Every structure is written in structure tokens, then in C-alpha cells.
Structure 1
Amino acid sequence: MRHYEIVFMVHPDQSEQVPGMIERYSNTIQKDGGSVHRLEDWGRRQLAYPINKIHKAHYVLMNVEASNDAMEELTTTFRYNDAVIRNLVIRRDEAVTDESFIMKAEKESRERKTRYEERQAADKAREESSAEEKTEEAAAE
């Protein structure tokens, strides 16, 4: 069994069918004794250039260990599935299980956004409490 990294892009109108496609492709790999080491659904993203007048696509990354027969079947499935716009299959030397750079960047972006929102809420609460203190001081005088 060899290790592979697979990235495929799905037509944006077919985005709701992506989980079913992932399940089918995973079953194809696993029925010959292979395994999926990493599966990342990157979601809809802007394409670098239009493909068949399409500007967005749904991206999926899979790192798998599979037999040659399973990979031939998978590439044939990609070729004849109209929903798959592009695919890339790369043979790897070893299994990759850690997060991809894209997922790490998205996670950091989400964390930064939540920290920013928390800071904004804290600042707003501080401003409201200082405004209340000023009104209390003015009422006491």
C-alpha cells in the first residue's frame, strides 16, 4: 500500500452532495484494505482562475493509504463525475496526519476574531460602567 494526497474540487452547485461523495470515495479506498489518514473539507473557495466559467469551487483534501487498484478506480470515478471540476493525486512517502496550512490559518483567523470580539465587548462594558459612575456622581452632587 502506498500513501497518497488527494485534492479535488467540486462544482459549487453540487456542494450539498460533498459529504456523500467523500463517503463513497472513502469506502472505495477502505474496501481494498486502505485507510484515510486525514480528511479536510475546506469548503467553498474562490478559484485562482475561472474553470468552465465557474469562479468558485468546494475543495476537499484527503491523505490516504490505498492500493493501486483503489487509486485507479478513484481516478476513473473523478474523470467521469461531472461534479468534480479538477483533481490532483500525489504519491507521498509517508502518511500525513497533521493539519494542513490552510486549516491552521483558518483556525488562527477564527481565534483572532473571537479575541477581537471579546476585547470589544470588554471595552464596551468598561465604557458603560464609567458612564454609569459619572451619572451617579452627577446625581449625588
Structure 2
Amino acid sequence: MRHYEVVFMVHPDQSEQVPGMVERYSSALVNAGATIHRSEDWGRRLLAYPIDKIVKAHYVMLNVECSVEALAELTEAFRFNDAVIRHLVIKRDHAVTEASPLVKKDDDDRGRREAPVAAADDADSSDLDDEDSEEEITTEAGE
């Protein structure tokens, strides 16, 4: 059996059905004797160029180890599914199990977005403490 990386793009109107599609394709591969090493949902992304007047698509990536027959069955299923806009199959030398650079980048971006919010909350609470102390000082001086 060989290792493959399969990426397919789903029409943006069908984004709600992506988990079901992934489950259907994954179960078909497993039933054919394949092993799925990695499955990633990259979400909706802007296309580099419009495809049939569509500018966004939902991306899904699978790393599988399967026979040529199972892969042919999968690509045939892509061809007959109108929701799948495009698909790409790449033969790999070995199984890839770590997260893709795209997912790592998204995780890093989320971490960076959350950190300044937490720092801003801490700064706001310290500003409130300073305002309270100023009020106490002015009321003591006024008495």
C-alpha cells in the first residue's frame, strides 16, 4: 500500500455537510482496507482565482495509506459529487502524522490573538484600581 495526501475543496454552500462527507469518505477508505493517518479540516478559505464564479471554498485534507483501487474509488466519488469543486491527490514517500504548517500557523495566530486580550484585561483592572485610590485620596483631603 502507498501513502497519499488528498485535498479536496467543497462548495461554500455545502460547508455544513463537510463533517458528514469526511466521515463518508473515511469510512469508504477504511472499508477498502486503508489507514487514515491524518484528517484536517482547514475551513473556508479564499480561492486564488474564481472557479465557476465561486470565490471561497471549504478545504479538507486527508493523509491515507491505501491501495490504488481504493484511491480510484475515492476519486470517482469526488467526480460524481457536485459539492466537491476540486480535488488533488499527491503520492507521498511516508505517512505524515504531524499537524500541517497551515494548522500550526492558525493555532499560533489564535494564541497571539488571545494573549493581547488577556493583557488588556489585566491593564484595565489595574487602571480601575488606580482610579479608586485617587478617589480615596481626594475624599480624605476634602474632609
Does TM, normalized by the shorter one, top 0.5?
Answer: yes
TM-score interval w.r.t. the shorter chain? over 0.9
Alignment of structure 1 residues 49-68 onto 2, 5 Å? 49-68=49-68
Aligned mates of 2:13, 2:32 — CA distance in 1: 31
Partner of 1:83: 83
The residue identity in structure 2 corresponding to 1:56 is K
Aligned mates of 1:51, 1:123 — CA distance in 2: 47
Q: After alignment, is 45-54 or 28-37 more displaced?
A: 28-37
The residue identity in structure 2 corresponding to 1:117 is V
Aligned mates of 2:50, 2:61 — CA distance in 1: 20
Unmatched runs of 5 consecutive residues or more in structure 2:
none
Aligned length: 141
SS at match of 2:95: coil
Partner of 1:38: 38
Partner of 1:107: 107
Q: CA RMSD in A?
A: 0.7
Per-residue deviation, residues 68-119 of structure 1 (Å, max 9, x unmatched): 1110000111111110001000010000000011100110011111111000
Residue 97, structure 1, aligned to residue 97, structure 2:
yes
SS at match of 1:103: helix
Residue 24 of structure 1: how far off its partner (Å): 1.0
SS at match of 2:9: strand
SS at match of 1:82: coil
The residue identity in structure 1 corresponding to 2:57 is A
Residue 33 of structure 1: how far off its partner (Å): 1.4
The residue identity in structure 1 corresponding to 2:15 is S
The structure with the larger Rg is: 2
Aligned mates of 2:75, 2:47 — CA distance in 1: 22
SS at match of 1:24: helix
SS at match of 2:108: helix
Partner of 2:132: 132
Partner of 1:9: 9
Aligned mates of 1:67, 1:27 — CA distance in 2: 15
SS at match of 1:4: strand
TM-score, normalised by the number of residues in structure 1: 0.98
